[in-house]
Amino acid sequence: MANANLLVTYDPSHAGRAKAELQAVLKEIGRKAKLAKPKIEGVMEATVAKPKEAVAKLGQLCRKKPNLFEVTFHYTPIEKWAKSDIKPMQKTIRGLAKGISQKDKWKMDLNKRSYDKYDSVQLIRQLTEVIDRPNVDLEAPQKILRVEILGNRAGISLLKPEEALDVPKLKG
């Protein structure tokens, strides 16, 4: 199972530039990344120190210097990896969901690549049924359960909104 703790999506026609851009923006915030061999086009898997903190800093950097982010799009910290079957993902989600308090507003984000076992709606329904927290809020959640499915494995995280970076949205 891969131990990358950061996924970065990019324009697949600019893989070399995306890799250089990732290294450059991490250098700006005083971090380095170890990159895994690419397995899925358009997704880099990296290992960085304190990925949630790094992504929050990258978000601040993107607000100040948006031109540094040209071919990379989404930066997602990964806390745990699971097989991309329902039961192992549910088990991982059940554990991470303990970080959502009864008062927290939360939502699930799901992205899938090279995966067609289930459609997204069916998948979200099955994965969220193990979370016994009442306050779902799709607009302004305090916690986001992010599920990134890459073929036969899924990277899963519980994030605060500032711990995931959506470059196109920030550039608006």
Per-residue model confidence as pLDDT tens digits over 74-92: 999 999 999 999 999 999 9
Low-confidence stretches of the chain (pLDDT < 70) are 1-2
Q: What angle do CA 163, 10, 6 make, to 5 degrees?
A: 35
Q: Which among 63, 62, 6, 12 is positioned nearest to 32, based on CA atoms?
A: 6
Instruction: Give strand pairing partners of 166.
Output: 74
Please tell me the pTM assigned to this model.
0.94
Residue type, 112: K
State the pLDDT at residue 56. 97
